[in-house]
Amino acid sequence: MAAISGKAEGDCGPNATSADARIAFLRMLGLDGATLVCPRQVHGGAVACASSSDAGKGALGLDNALAEADALITNEPELPMGITVADCVPVFVVADGGRAAGLVHAGRAGIRTEITENTVRSLCSRYTLSSEDLYAIIGPSAGPCCYEVDAEMAADFHAAGYPVHGRNLDLWEANRIQLLRAGVPEQHILVSGICTICSTHFFSYRANHSLERNLAVLAI
Range of the domain at 199: 2-218
What distance in Å separates the CA atoms of residue 98 and residue 101, rounded to the nearest whole number? Answer: 7
Interval 159-174: pLDDT, tens: 999 999 999 999 999 9
At 67, which CATH number? 3.60.140.10
Could you tell me if 90 and 4 are in contact, meaning their C-beta atoms sit under 8 angstroms apart? Answer: yes
| Domain count across the chain | 1
**The whole model's pTM is what?**
0.96
Residue pair 171/195 in contact (Cβ under 8 Å)? The answer is no
pLDDT for 8 equals 97
- Interval 137-157 mean pLDDT: 97
Residue 220 has pLDDT above 90, yes or no: yes
Angle (nearest 5°) at CA 166 between 162 and 170: 35
pLDDT confidence band for 210 (50 / 70 / 90): confident
Sequence-distant (≥ 6) Cβ neighbours of residue 11 within 8 angstroms: 17, 18, 21, 203, 212, 213
